[in-house]
Amino acid sequence: MLAPKTSPQPPAIEAKPSTQADLTAISLCLRQTELFKRLDSPSLGRLAQLCRIVKLPKNGTLFHEGEIAQGFYIVHTGTISLSRISIEGKEQVISLFRTHDCFAEATLSTLETYPATASALEPTQVILVSKKSFRSFIAERPDLAMSMLASMSLHLKHLVQMIEDLKFKQIECRLANWLLRQLESESDIINLPFSKKVLASRLGVTSETLSRAFARFRNEGLITVNARDILIEDRDGLSAYVTEL
């Protein structure tokens, strides 16, 4: 029996900045990141010349888990999903990165290959900072090493939060914990920043299972859902699910 054919994934398109407008756009993007916002203008201009622009269509793959690392990336526009395949063969979303977010910085130090797969959730442009070029650059600016550590620490915090979600056996507990963590102190409205399919993968369940959990919360009067806006009607009711662990 022949295996079913799979559609080829759209390719990523990588290019050097070819015009002054490209260099200016890269410099402006770098300036908006936590990593490079304190860099002086001449250094920022030099760094921009070392970068590459990578364009991805929706669902395009930037790199695969285990692929030799070329460097780290900064999202210029769009959204990047970082995921791994679980032992059960299911895709597990680890992190999401949006405009001005940096990711894969760990490849500059100890990692020779990418530890996860990165793909675009929408048409996306990222800036590739070459590992080899940046290592030479950072040798001249040792202060950047501390910024790199801070950036990687933030990623570690997000991973710890994801592990916290997954410690709950019941999806209702995982979802309640995730919703409560998204709340601002004064607001009861959450704008879901990505699709429910992505949230389901992040919480380690199927889309159908997540939909049933949302339906249960709605029926119990805990939340009201309007497209991607989620109104929390009963914080204490959600908290009760979390404390059931």
**pLDDT value at residue 95:** 84
**pLDDT value at residue 37:** 83
Among 156, 159, 154, 155, CA closest to 92: 159
Q: CA-CA distance, 223 to 206, in Å (whole number)?
A: 20
Please report the domains of the chain, with CATH numbers, ordered by start residue: 13-165 (2.60.120.10), 168-242 (1.10.10.10)
The model's confidence at residue 151, banded by pLDDT at 50, 70 and 90, is: low
β-pair type (117-120, 91-97): unpaired
Helices 131-140, 41-49: inter-axial angle, 10-degree rounding: 160
Please name the residues in contact with 146: beta carbons below 8 A apart, sequence gap of 6 or more. none
Q: CA-CA distance, 21 to 5, in Å (whole number)?
A: 42
CA neighbours within 13 Å on the CB side: how many for 177?
20
The model's confidence at residue 29, banded by pLDDT at 50, 70 and 90, is: very high
pLDDT digits (tens, 9 = 90+) for 104-117: 887 777 668 888 89
SS3 for 188?
Answer: coil
**pLDDT value at residue 61:** 94
**What residues form DSSP beta bridges with 93?**
83
pLDDT digits (tens, 9 = 90+) for 35-91: 888 888 888 888 898 898 999 999 999 999 889 988 899 999 999 998 888 777 777
**pLDDT value at residue 5:** 45
**pLDDT value at residue 1:** 41
**Is residue 174 a contact partner of residue 203, using CB atoms and an 8 Å limit?**
yes
